[in-house]
Structure 1
Amino acid sequence: MEGQTKDFELIPEPRTVEINPDSVVVLPYAGRIVENAGEWDVADVWANQVADDIEAATGLRWDIAKGDRWQSFITLSIASTDDLGRDEYRLTIAQEGITVVGGDAAGLRDGIQTLRQIIRQCAPSLPEIDIKDKPAYQTRGYYLDATRGRVPTLDWLKRWADKLCLYKYNQLQLYVEHTFAFDDMSETWRGTSPLKPADIIAFDEYCAARGIELVPSVSTFGHLYMALRTRELRHLGEFPEQADRPYSLIERMEHHTLNITETDAFALSCTLIDDYLQLFRSRKFNICGDETFDLGKGRSKPEADKRGVATMYADYVSRLCGHLSEQGREPLFWGDIAVEMPEILARLPKDVMLLNWLYAPDITDEKVRLVAESGATQYVCPAVWCWNTLLPRLDWAWENISRLAQYGRHYGAAGFLVTDWGDYGHVNDPRMTVPGMIYGAQCAWDSQWADGSGDDAHVELDRRISIAEYGDSTGEFVAVLRDASHQVAFGWDNIVRYLELDYGDGLLNADVRDSIWTDEHDSADGVDYADLIHASTTLREARMNLLTWLKSDILRWSEANTALRADVARLGAITAQAAIYDSGATRGGLLQPMLVAAEGQRLFNELGVCLALRDGVIAEDEITGEVLPDRFPQQVARGLEQWFETYAAVWRTVSAESELRRIANVIWHYADLLRS
């Protein structure tokens, strides 16, 4: 589109676009859409998506028909020709009408989403335009955490599938550990608002109708923390004697591995697989198998001493994959263990898909190349970087997603799977991941889109997302949100770390201490704070070392909070003028999660100051720019309690109650501590 002017944005950006800048096509006041997608869209969902957007833009409801005998202004069809190949589409908007032709059903669906974005931003006067387009990655997936504290409502899941469809994702996986109501496992899922079979069946149908493959994904090897704490299943863990340790948001990420030498272990894994897969139409199944940190360290150590951890891991994953292959299923698994122990790669079945998750913002191509050279088939899997925080880390998300998209294409990756996690209780609102999700949509569609552009590409995509997604004609919305994300002086991750360094009895939790790594922040003074923290022998010493590492961030709390207030004001001003594209959406609904996140972060920043003062890491005369009021800690305590009530109400608009209480316990603990 170089050299041509337009007042709308398309994401992902099409590869070939021709616009007539001197002509517009006005939608008729009464029109018809004819869709001929055959068995791929029996219910005419795609035609109704177009009709819904026309109605939202103009207030007029268009008719829908199928076949070749009806007059129409918009025609949607599949026509595999020499001109259009697999996953390809052509969209033409002309005076005589609009046509979307797909080389197959996938191409048609994606072309319709491009038309919808134009209608949303331009109707009733559309540009005269011709687009021919196809994606870089055939599989463009999203991986949504539904287990680490937050279980989305079915209504929210459907809204998320609609958004994924609009941005041309075609695969979705829900991450499940203990939040599915498996038969005879109620001790594992009680109190978590688990998803039920009917939810999965309904959601699978909903996704399929929108061209999205819902792929089952359940932990079958590692990450079985909640199951292995139960009385019925604890004997299957590597460390059953630790099942009664106090619950820990951090430890649940660290200790959770199945003891595969136990007779009943394989039967449990197969039960999880066999019960779950029957609910899905997909032939794929993700057994997970990631972060098996305890393998060979507990009850299975004698076996590991004889055979080696790598052999044990490869053999068990191969057994699970074989179990799926025997049923005509295609196994997928997370590749972190195999990549760290490359001898595993040679032992894996040839029909398994390795999900190569690599989250560093400055990631290199080393591990993508390693898997490619081994002959294994892989998806490359970046992250939206929203876990453990109220405000999304958009800088890190962009760097990670854009780099990995290019590496994956260079080494022939079969798919691109953007991950969205909720570590430490899933404090992050799922709506805050939208910009990162759209980064993934653009890079999966055209992996070279940002090649050589550096920061300019990030800035440009933020502008385009602001317009296309948030209805912001200024193009500033995402840039302001990105600035807000820079104002984290004391974040949720360190709030949880500080708290859980206490085992619960005033003694140091060594496992939590050892989980803290300081490479997330550059040390200005050259001190290796990881070594200091890991050498701590008492709770007080560990907490002081943690806060000392964070001191420079904590001291900028006043500056950060001033910037947060300015960002909130700007977001409010932008939203007041924003166009609303989704039916039933409101400007308040758009702004709601942003306001709650910014206010929570402001209070978290103040909490960091209170803790640093309390533990003697900073003195009050080191605080510049603001005089602390009398009884400042009590003021922060009241603010946290009031904020949490609003946070909880907003949580319930998109999520079941699930494990909201765990976030409440953290907030209330600090409120009590500040008053003591």
Structure 2
Amino acid sequence: MYFIPQPRKIEYKEAGEGQNGFVLSYQGYIVLDPSCGNRITRQAALVQKALEEKLGFALALTRGEGRKGDVILEQCPQLGKEDYILTVDAENVRITGGEAGVWYGCQTLQQMVEQCGAVLPFVQIEDGPDIPNRGFYHDVTRGRVPKLSFLKKMADRMAYYKMNQLQLYIEHTFLFRDFSEIWRDDTPLTAEEIMELDQYCLERGIELVPSLSCFGHLYKVLSSKGYSHLCELEGADQMPFSLRGRMHHHTINVTDPESLEFIKGKIREFMPLFTSRQFNICADETFDLGKGKSRAAAEEKGVDRIYIDFVKALCEFLVENGRRPMFWGDIICGFPEMIKELPEETICLNWGYAKYQREDETKWLYDAGAVQYSCPGACGWNQFVYLIENSYENIRRMCSYAVKYHSIGVLNTDWGDFLHVNHPEFGVVGMIYGAAFSWNGNIPSFDEINRQISRLEFGDEEERFVSIAASVAAQKAFDWETAIRFKELGEVPEFTEDHKAYISEHMGDMDGVDEKNKRLEEISRDFYGSIVHLKEGKRELVKPYLAAVDAVRLFNELGKVVTAREYGRTYSSMPDAWKLAEELEKWLYHYKEIYRSVSKESELYRIQELIVWYGDYLRMKEEKE
């Protein structure tokens, strides 16, 4: 039997003569011991509903003294807040734990029922997490704004794997009351949606922590007519749009006093929507700091000084308002000793996304006395399908560094660079890696955890679904980011050389493209073949995967045309460019349907524009010699 995360201790018991396990009877009860507080009482109804979905019948719910055949929930102050003991014997199922621990024990019980049905083996499980804060960070700004229904589904899944924190990355995709110019052409999350999600998460033991870009990465804000004067660089509202440019520039001018008051105003409006007493100000990748309007201050005081002073001012503002500040640690890793100038409760979010991520930054911050989270990545940005093997290795390493250097949390990130083109459901595998490895440092092998996820998450009887998905990444030749960079060549002169260098660096990916496409056809057949082995409710994910595999194949074919026309490469076979254009446009029709099933409209139009551009490019008549 599989459990995700793996419990600390599992001891199976021998069944007595004539016994084959404990039977969850349709006449049974879930009994709340009088020790259970209000939160467990509310959560018991969620457990009742979840078990009904798995069993086909509902156990009754009551409070008092349990009897033989009951599932008994008991809160025990002697156990740690998140610890629990789950016992299944001939008399009862009993879950004893701290307030959160009882909830986590119920998730373990659900995983048992998922695999064993109503007849459970006799077992005692003693469990608790290695790391107290286990979170997921989801980008809802760079192209894709999820529907509330999707975010609730995400929270349900996080709870099932014992995660307890969620953050949504927001630059401009919140409907601020006084900043309509920022969100007017998007489909932002509303205050009502945030508050509803906050309560939904709270009921499931998840803290929804506000996260708002407050320093760098303020493209929509600082390119607007109303606020471009606050940008570090002059003429921000005149800069032509590019996907590369909007991630590179748009740092706020810290030497203008209006900047601090403007950001404080955004925080004041956003902060009260959350029950969390924490707030992430981001403050990462401030690429332009000291290069424009703050140049004189940077030359006088140093870039590090003007950076830390602005971060400190925001952190102190949050502390004054009863919030614990968080911020990304990439910049302060260059001068970690300055962490001591921030309020002592400040949390540094130390991120690193390389497959073989080093531990240096984690150690530097630890040596400087920082309170830190380790922040790995699900490795889906710029991809049609996530780089699953990369994410496993990255998350495995970052979680081990978290334990080694006493991080108080792991915040696993899922960014949406270049329009968040992938289906957000694909991020679940990386999410589960983070949940599993932050709970228990005894990390299974790549193949083993993938079998477990295939079975528990997707109900795959063959335990192959994740390995099929993981095989896609190696078949890409002309990927999404390369296609964007080629289209943007010359559109914004500043990035032309950068784009050229990237395309040149990745030209070798086109080697063996025909073999890659042949393998993609095999992978598609594997996905079709998996349908019969998946549980109901998970089969609907096969179409998004099939569409993603088709996208990789079609873009590989597109790469043949582009690199043959523009770079003189030759291939043993070439697609009919006009037919390829039609295939891409038909693919787009299905892609939009899938996109809209889980996301608001947001920047879907930009994805459409790129496909249309390439459709026109493919239909261009080639010049005759």
Q: TM-score per shorter chain, which class?
A: over 0.9
| Alignment pair present for 1:603 and 2:554 | yes
Q: 2:39 aligns with which of 41, 66, 69?
A: 41
Q: Retained in 1: the 8 A contact 2:23–2:69? A: no
2:495 is the counterpart of 1:511: yes
Q: Secondary structure at the match of 1:64?
A: strand
Say which SS state the counterpart of residue 44 (structure 1) adopts.
helix
Distance 1:513 1:665 in 2: 23
1:259 aligned to which of 253, 262, 265: 253
Name the residue aligned to 1:360: 354
Q: Which runs of 5+ in 2 are unaligned?
A: 621-625
Residues 47-56 or 372-381, more deviating: 47-56
Partner in structure 2 of residue 550 of structure 1? 506
1:163 to 143, 157, 170: 157
Shift of 1:512: 5.3
Contact 1:32 1:71 survives alignment (8 Å): no
Q: How far apart are residue 38 of structure 1 and its match?
A: 4.3
Q: 1:575 aligns with which of 531, 556, 570?
A: 531
Number of aligned positions between the proteins: 615
**Which position in structure 2 is the counterpart of 1:643?**
587
Instruction: Tell me, yes or no, if the aligned pair for 1:25 and 1:93 is still in contact at 8 Å.
Output: yes
Where in structure 2 are the equivalents of 1:423-438 lying within 5 Å?
423-438=417-432
* CA shift digits 1:153-183 (9 cap, x unpaired): 1111000000000011100001000000111
Q: CA deviation at 1:317?
A: 0.3
Partner SS state of residue 168, structure 1:
coil
Measured in 2, the distance between the counterparts of 1:85 and 1:71 equals 27
Alpha-carbon deviation of 1:70?
A: 7.6
Distance 1:75 1:569, change over 3 A: same
Map 1:474-513; keep pairs closer than 5 Å: 474-503=462-491, 509-511=493-495, 513=497
Q: Which amino acid aligns with 1:628?
A: M
Q: Secondary structure at the match of 2:74?
A: strand
Does the aligned pair in 2 maintain the 1:53–1:120 contact within 8 Å? no
Distance in 1, matches of 2:503 and 2:223, equals 32
Partner amino acid, structure 2, of 1:615: E
Q: What one-letter code is carried by the residue in structure 1 that aligns with 2:42?
A: D
Q: Match for residue 522 of structure 1?
A: none
Q: In the superposition, relative to structure 1, how do residues 49 and 575 fare at CA in structure 2: closer, same or farther (>3 Å)? A: farther
Partner of residue 331, structure 2: 337
Q: Structure 1 residue 43: deviation in Å? A: 5.8
Residue deviations 1:505-525 (CA, integer Å, cap 9, x gap): xxx6233533x5xxxxxxxxx
Instruction: Tell me how far apart the structure 1 counterparts of residues 246 and 73 of structure 2 sit (CA, whole Å).
Output: 49
- SS for the counterpart of 2:93 is strand
Instruction: Say if 2:574 is the partner of 1:628.
Output: yes
Q: What TM-score, normalized to structure 1? A: 0.88
In structure 1, the partner of 2:613 is: 669
2:6 pairs with 13, 32, 35, which one?
13
> Which of 60, 81, 85 is matched with 1:86 structurally?
81
Change (3 A) 1:43 1:511: farther
Q: CA deviation at 1:21?
A: 6.1
5 Å matches for 1:268-667? 268-450=262-444, 457-503=445-491, 509-511=493-495, 513-514=497-498, 542=500, 546-580=502-536, 585-587=537-539, 589-619=540-570, 623-624=571-572, 627-629=573-575, 632-667=576-611
Q: Distance in 2 between matches of 1:215 and 1:122?
A: 36
Structure 1 residues 92 and 635: alpha-carbon distance in aligned structure 2, compared to 1, 3 A threshold = same
Check 1:344–1:634 CA distance in 2 against 1; reply closer, same or farther (3 A cut). Answer: farther
Letter in 1 for 2:527: L
* CA–CA separation in structure 2 for the residues paired with 1:552 and 1:260: 43
Residues 127-138 of structure 1 mapped to structure 2, 5 A cutoff: 127-138=121-132
Q: How far off is 1:344 after superposition?
A: 3.1
Structure 1 runs not aligned, ≥5 long: 1-7, 451-456, 517-541
CA separation in 2, counterparts of 1:414 and 1:197?
Answer: 30
Deviations 1:416-451 (A, max 9, x none): 11001000011111111111111111110112425x
Match of 1:529 in 2: none
Instruction: Give the drift of 1:220.
Output: 0.8
Give the TM-score, by structure 2 length: 0.95
SS at match of 2:291: coil
Q: How far has the Cα of 1:54 moved from its partner?
A: 2.9
Aligned residue type for 2:53: A
The AA in structure 1 aligned to 2:476 is V
Aligned to 1:58: 55
Write the letter of the residue equivalent to 1:391.
V
Amino acid in the other structure paired with 1:638: E
Q: Secondary structure at the match of 1:615?
A: helix
Q: Distance in 2 between matches of 1:61 and 1:405?
A: 38
- Considering only aligned residues, what root-mean-square deviation do their CA atoms show, in Å? 1.7
SS at match of 1:565: helix
Q: Would the aligned equivalents of 2:222 and 2:236 in 1 still touch at CA under 8 Å?
A: no
Moved more, 208-217 or 441-450: 441-450
User: Residue type of the partner of 2:276?
Assistant: S
Supply the distance in 1 between the matched residues of 2:503 and 2:191 (Cα, whole angstroms): 45
**Does the 8 Å CA contact 2:376/2:395 hold for their aligned counterparts?**
yes
Cα displacement (A) at 1:547? 4.3
* 1:477 Cα offset (Å): 1.2
* Whole-angstrom CA distance in 2 between matches of 1:57 and 1:343: 52
> CA distance change for structure 1 residues 181 and 39 in 2, over 3 Å: closer, same or farther?
farther
Report the residue type matching 1:275 in the other structure. Answer: E
Task: Decide whether the 8 Å contact of 2:55 with 2:113 is kept in 1.
Answer: no
SS of the equivalent of 1:140 reads strand
Does structure 1 retain, via aligned residues, the 8 Å contact 2:377–2:391? yes
Equivalence for 2:110? 116
CA distance in 2, matches of 1:546, 1:353: 35
- Asked if 1:188 is matched to 2:182, the reply is yes
Change in CA separation of 1:31 and 1:513 when aligned onto 2, cut-off 3 Å: farther
Q: Counterpart of 2:25 in structure 1: which amino acid?
A: P
Deviation at 1:382, TM superposition (A): 0.2
Query: Could you say if the C-alpha distance between residues 288 and 547 of structure 1 is closer, same or farther in structure 2, counting changes exceeding 3 Å?
Result: closer
Contact in 1 for aligned 2:563/2:569 (Cα 8 Å): yes
Note the C-alpha offset of 1:502: 2.4
| Residue-by-residue CA offset, 1:550-598 (whole Å, 9 max, x unaligned) | 3332132221111111112112212212234xxxx252x1312211111
1:19 aligned partner, one-letter code: Y
Higher mean C-alpha deviation, range 358-367 or range 553-562: 553-562
- Deviation per CA, 1:222-266: give whole Å up to 9, x if none: 110110111000000012313222211111110010001113100
Task: Name the CA distance, whole Å, in 2 between partners of 1:321 and 1:72.
Answer: 53
Q: Cα deviation per residue 1:456-504 (whole Å; 9 max; x = unaligned)?
A: x11111111111111112221111111112111111111111111221x
Q: Secondary structure at the match of 1:423?
A: coil
Shift of 1:69: 7.1
Cα distance in 2 between the residues matched to 1:231 and 1:240: 12
- Sort the Cα spacing of 1:509 and 1:169 in 2 relative to 1 into closer, same or farther, 3 A: same
Please report how far the alpha carbon of residue 101 of structure 1 lies from its aligned counterpart in structure 2 after TM superposition: 1.0
Which shows bigger deviation, 16-25 or 277-286? 16-25
1:96 aligns with 2:91: yes
The amino acid across from 2:555 in the alignment is: F
1:339·1:345 contact (CA, 8 Å) conserved in 2? no
Distance in 2, Cα, partners of 1:123 & 1:48? 19
Task: Name the residue aligned to 2:71.
Answer: 74
